[in-house]
Structure 1
Amino acid sequence: MKLPAFFIAHGSPLLALEDNDYTRFLARLGQDLPLPRGIVVFSAHWDSPEQLVTVDGQHETQHDFYGFPDEMYELVYPAPGDPLLSRRICELFKKHNLAHQPILGRGLDHGVWVILQKMFPKADIPVVALSVDSLRSPSEQYEIGRMLAPLRDEGILFIGSGGLIHNLRLLSEKDQPEDWALSFDEWIAKSLEAWDLPSLFAYEKKAPHVREAVPSYGREHFVPLFYAMGTADEGRRAQRMIQAYQYGTLSLNCWMLD
């Protein structure tokens, strides 16, 4: 069973408590997908120059955010890990001479559990979290994802969790998205649907309003896209399944990659 890969925006941590079109979409997506044997998530909230891999048999829940309602800190997502899947991932990294490090006891950050809590609320599917390196080139990030592509044939679901537009300094109270945010997302959509790697890899020079959408201090939220795309290199098909916005600029979207 070969599953598609996804890029999924995880938005604000408050998404875990919200009931809206986007969270209901995530719930339906989890119900509609064939049951994965395991889930591998490249998380924007684990940025490291070395490739890191969780190897836990059971995960704790990280509450890696501040100033939120008390209810947020009571939420848990007690998903199991899969040490054998972690070992398989490490073997593939080793095969491609990628320096990597197994990590025990980190727990799942909110970039992982907020979306999985909506998609698979029973928390009964094994999860392996992987770091990203926002300082690598997009082509390197893509190649790391491609190293793991064989696991898609083994029932593994890959998710890149981040945000194509994630600039907390430009959030507003507007109900409607800013024009520049729409323009950036549409450029990404056109490039993704064409699987135009030269343009996407040069997004910092070619995409409109890129400095607003992907500020230098927030690049880690954009790059999970390339890792997820790499796992889908064989088919090179991209479909935007939903597009929404919060706070005027926070882009909430899901891309299926196959």
Structure 2
Amino acid sequence: MKLPALFIAHGSPLLALEDNEYTRFLEKLGQELPKPKGVVVFSAHWDSSEQLFTSDERYETLHDFYGFPQEMYGLTYPAPGDPGLAARIAELFAEHNLPCRAVSGRGLDHGVWVILRRLFPEADIPVVALSVDSLRSPMEQYEIGRMLAPLREEGVLFIGSGGLVHNLRLMKEDDGPEEWALEFDAWIAERLEGWKLEELYHYDKLAPYAKEAVPSYGREHFIPLFYAMGTADSGRTAERMFQAYQYGTLSLNCWKLG
């Protein structure tokens, strides 16, 4: 059973509570996907120069945000881990001479559990979280994802969790998207649908309004796209399944990568 890879925007942590078009889409998507044997998430909220991955059997739920309604801090996502899958990930990285390290006791950050709580609310699918490195080149990030591609043949679902347009400093009160956000998303969509890697690798120089959409302080939200794409290198297809915006400068998009 070969599953697609996904890039999913995790938006505001409030998606864990909200009932809107996007949360309903994620819930429906989780019902329509074949049930994975495991889920591997590249999270924007775990940025490290060292390639890290979780190896726990059970996780704490990290509430790694502040200033939100108290109800948010009581939410949990008690998904199991999968030390066996973690070991397979370590093997594949070793085969490609990528230094890596297993981490236990970290818990699942909100880049992981907020979207999984919508996709798989029963929390009955094993999860392994992986760090990203915002200082690596997009090509390197893609290649790291490609190292793990064989796991898709073993029933593993890969998710890159972040946001293609993610500028917290330019947020506004309403959700109507800024024109520059629309232009950037459209540029990325065209290159994704054509799998134009060289252009995507140089998005920061070629894409309109790249500095606004992917500010220097927020690159970690964009790069999970490259990791997820790498796991889908054998198919090289991309379908945008959902597009909306929060606060004008956070794009809520979901891409299925084949």
| 1:168 matched residue in structure 2 | 168
Superposed, 1:43-122 pairs within 5 Å as 43-122=43-122
Question: Quick one: structure 1 residues 175 and 102, their matched pair in 2 at CA, closer, same or farther if it must change by over 3 Å?
Answer: closer
Secondary structure in 2 matching 1:161? strand
Separation (CA, whole Å) in 1 of partners of 2:125 and 2:216: 35
Q: Which has the larger displacement, 168-177 or 227-236?
A: 168-177
Counterpart of 1:206?
Answer: 206
* Cα deviation code 1:94-140 (max 9, x no counterpart): 00000101001100000000000000000000000000000000000
Q: Distance in 1 between matches of 2:22 and 2:140?
A: 31
Cα deviation per residue 1:206-229 (whole Å; 9 max; x = unaligned)?
000000000000000000000000
Q: Which residue does 2:139 correspond to in 1?
A: 139
Deviation at 1:249, TM superposition (A): 1.4
**Partner residue in 1 for 2:29:** 29
Match of 1:195 in 2: 195
- 2:7 is the alignment partner of 1:7: yes
Identity %: 75
Provide the residue aligned with 1:252 in structure 2: 252
**Whole-angstrom CA distance in 2 between matches of 1:246 and 1:226:** 23
Q: Distance in 2 between matches of 1:107 and 1:216?
A: 27
What residue number does 2:232 align with?
Answer: 232
Q: Does the alignment pair 1:150 with 2:189?
A: no
2:234 is paired with a residue of what secondary structure?
A: coil
Which structure 1 segments of 5+ residues have no match? Answer: none
Deviation at 1:233, TM superposition (A): 0.2
Query: Displacement of 1:173 after TM fit?
Result: 1.4
Map 1:214-229 onto structure 2 (within 5 A): 214-229=214-229
Runs of 4+ aligned residues of structure 1 deviating over 4 Å after TM superposition are none
Partner residue of 1:130? Answer: 130
Separation of aligned partners in 2, 1:9 and 1:174: 18
CA displacement at 1:79 relative to structure 2:
0.3
> How many angstroms apart in 1 are the aligned matches of 2:121 and 2:95?
35
TM-superposed deviation, 1:176: 1.6
1:248 Cα deviation from its structure 2 partner? 1.0
Q: In structure 2, what is the Cα distance between the partners aligned to 1:252 and 1:32?
A: 19
C-alpha displacement of 1:174: 2.8
Q: TM-score, normalised by structure 2?
A: 0.99
Question: Quick one: which amino acid aligns to residue 13 of structure 2?
Answer: P
2:198 is paired with a residue whose SS is: helix
Q: What do residues 34-86 of structure 1 show as CA deviations (whole Å, max 9, x unaligned)?
A: 00000000000000000001000011100000111100000000000000000
What secondary structure, in the 3-state scheme, does the structure 2 residue paired with 1:242 have? strand
Any idea what SS the aligned residue of 1:3 has?
Answer: coil
CA displacement 1:2-41 (0-9 Å, x = unmatched): 0000000000001100000000000000000000000000
CA distance in 2, matches of 1:167, 1:69: 22
Q: Deviations over 1:151-194 (max 9, x none)?
A: 00000000000000111001001342111000000000000000
| Compared CA separation, residues 175 and 224, structure 1 to 2 (3 A) | closer
TM-score after normalising by structure 1? 0.99
* Count of equivalent residues: 258
Partner Cα distance (1:175, 1:219) in 2: 22
Q: CA RMSD in A?
A: 0.5
Determine the C-alpha separation between the residues in 2 that align with 1:57 and 1:176.
Answer: 42
